[in-house]
Amino acid sequence: MVLITNIKRWWQTEPAMTQLLLGLTVAVFLVEWLLGGSTATAVLYLMGAKNDQAIIAGQWWRFITPIFLHMGLTHIALNGVVIYFMGMQIEALFGHWRLLAIYLLGGISGNIMSFGLSPDQSVGASTAIFALFGAFLMVGESFWENPMIRQLTSQFLLFTALNLVFDLFSSGIDIWGHVGGLIGGFLLGYIVGVPRMGKIPTLKRVLAGITLIIAWLAMIKLGFTNFQ
């Protein structure tokens, strides 16, 4: 009984979903290490890296598994810090389950865009992290009249832009995955809504949903076309 009470208190007072996602990410990294190392291409492929040829062969689950895979200790350490601090803020605004939807579906959006525009194998939570950035920018657009939200949004907009510019001049980074996650998170913010902040017009939510589905289908079709 005490355990159940403590779990309920944790769920109600802590960024529980953020902590669960981070814990799962670390657990998967440990499995990578046990299987032969997180920098081994074969291990990453085995565990579900985004690989265009495998996706075309029918392994659609590779749109989601890359979110939890990382290449090297530095990779997971940097992403882990951002997951925790950014996740806490988004979870405070959207709630547990909306955060989960944005994180997973936004990460999928990034991997779908990567499938359509990048032939390289890729892994990392960055697609989902950029989705969190996008969701926060959506809050800024929808509740711009709030001075605190306006100030934070300006800071996150600058931070996001700097990250994308950094991507352009860095090798080995899947910029299309980041862009896809950012756009996906922005649209998903409208779709799931932010009840703790206020109401999002129904028309905006419907248009966001239609736009996201069309974008997914277009990128998937492009990915198959590029392979032919």
Q: What is the pLDDT of residue 51?
A: 96
Amino acid sitting at position 139 = V
**Known catalytic membership, residue 70:** no
Nearest 5°: CA angle at 160, between 81 and 91? 50
Amino acid sitting at position 167 = D
3-state helix, strand, coil in the chain (%, to 5): 80, 0, 20
- Given a cut of 80, whether residue 227 has pLDDT beyond it is no
pLDDT of 171-183, one tens digit each? 678 899 999 999 9
Q: Binning pLDDT at 50, 70 and 90, where does residue 228 land?
A: low
Q: What is the pLDDT of residue 169?
A: 63
- Given a cut of 90, whether residue 104 has pLDDT beyond it is yes
Average pLDDT, the chain: 92
The reply to whether the predicted model has a pTM over 0.75 is yes
Q: What is the pLDDT of residue 58?
A: 95
Structural domains in the chain, CATH included, are: 16-227 (1.20.1540.10)
Q: What is the pLDDT of residue 7?
A: 86
Report the half-sphere exposure of 58 (CA within 13 A, side-chain side): 0
Three-class DSSP category at 5: helix
**Known catalytic membership, residue 142:** no
Note whether 98 and 173 are within 8 A (CB).
no
Catalytic one of 38, 70, 142, 178: 178
**Greater pLDDT, 2 or 49:** 49
Note whether 177 and 123 are within 8 A (CB).
no
Catalytic one of 109, 118, 126, 142: 126
The average pLDDT across 119-130 equals 95
